[in-house]
Amino acid sequence: MVMSSEDVVFETNPIEAQIVDPSLSDTAPTALAGEPCARCGNPLSADDQYCPACGQPNDGPSSPAASASKTPAAAARFLRCESCGAEISTDIDRRSYVCPFCDSTYVVEFTPAQSDRRRPEFVIGFAVTRQQARQHFKKWLSNNRWLRPGDLTTAAIEEKQQGVYLPFWTFSTRASSRWRAKIGEYWYETVRRQVRGADGKMTTRTERVRHTEWWPLSGRHQRFYAGFLASASRGLSQAEAEQIQPFQLTALARYQPHFLAGWMSEEYVLDQDQAWQICQAHFQRVERQNVAAFLPGDEQRELVVDSRFERTGIDLVLLPVHILSYRYQDRVFRFLVNGQTGKFVGQKPVSGKRVAALVIGIVLLIAVVVGILWVVSVVSR
């Protein structure tokens, strides 16, 4: 069977992906109703009996939280870390400040009045409390405790944990691709062969032999993508951001300044054009994978995919992350907790002396076992 590249052309219909704007979906959850907690400012749902971030009882629309939502947002101080460059907004009454990203105290105050930064469109509130995030850290740090340096003071480290709303860009896009490849289809042939057995006699054996027929194919592929998050933070790299994902974006609520009351919030440094380049690189990889999965045949090779991406939507969103940064022997270590799902990832120091002792112990144990086996083999002779 032989076909030219023009014989068969496939095209898929656009596929709706995850909806970013919850206002466009009839099934979008009402995770944030727009009323802040009276104690910490975390957005509350009308069904919440208690604030998920601090445990404050939710008394409904007549509560102080509801009245707070009708008042202007509290003034904030804007601080820039001179070590890592992160820009953070925090409560105006806060007098001491440590950068949550690099544990530096070298910060200066700045005024964002002249900034042309875009206002966030959506936010997801903290569902993981500060206490729960600390418990995650304690449990994680206790693993392999024997390898931990003996002078690492965990109590002082825990106090450095801070909840921060981090900025992300999220895009929706339509991918239109043209592709070409060689498609392989299997066919089988039954053959008889003469083989010599262990006794020296010739016997006839029937075998099923597989063959592959290759033919060129080309086509078009279209798909709608959404939900990719490009970190716009200076303090949190894209790789770190992907480690604590996913976030459930169907819980996004329209941004209101009072949602940030009681929490820090980082200003974005990656503009939307830079984020779009990261987004396109990601969807280019995903589109190639989807085209490869879409192709017919049993095998494929020499796949070439030429994709064009149409940007159909863009939003700046604030997502909750508990950050714990601490220094040990002039090196910064970081522990991150997804403030919505509780997923965590981190780095921790290990004691070089204890690691060396462990390696030496393993080597000695192996040497003893080898020695015992050698003695046994000599005696058995």
Residue that the structure tokens 């070298």 belong to: 106
pLDDT for 175: 95
Could you tell me the pLDDT band of residue 260, with boundaries at 50, 70 and 90?
confident
Rounded Cα distance between 130 and 132, Å, is: 5
pLDDT for 166: 93
Instruction: Tell me the torsion sign for CA atoms 200, 201, 207, 211.
Output: positive
Report the number of secondary-structure helices (H) and strands (E) in the chain. 6, 13
DSSP string, 106-141: -EEE--GGG--PPPP-EE----S-HHHHHHHHHHHH
Give mean pLDDT, residues 120-134.
91
Q: In sequence order, which residues have a C-beta less than 8 Å from that of residue 136 and are 6 or more positions away?
A: 337, 342, 344
Q: What does the mean pLDDT of the chain come to? A: 76
Rounded Cα distance between 56 and 54, Å, is: 6
If one counts every other C-beta atom within 10 angstroms of the C-beta of residue 190, the result is 8
Selected residue with higher pLDDT from 154 and 119: 119
Give mean pLDDT, residues 281-299.
93
* Helix (H), strand (E), coil (C) string for 203-263: EEEEEEEEEEEEEEEEEEEEEEEEEEEEECCCCCCHHHHHHCCCCCHHHCEECCHHHHCCC
- For the stretch 26-66, pLDDT in tens is 333 334 445 667 666 666 666 666 665 566 677 655 443 34
CA neighbor of 315 nearest in space, from 162, 173, 165, 219: 173
pLDDT for 146: 54
Rounded Cα distance between 36 and 26, Å, is: 24
- Determine how β-strand 76-81 pairs with β-strand 87-91: antiparallel
- The pLDDT of residue 289 is above 60: yes
Cα dihedral value 287, 268, 236, 161, nearest 10: -140
Helix, strand, coil percentages in the chain from 3-state DSSP, rounded to 5: 25, 35, 40
Q: How many CA atoms lie within 13 A of 125 on its CB side?
A: 31
- The pLDDT of residue 116 is above 80: no
Cα dihedral value 114, 118, 123, 129, nearest 10: -40
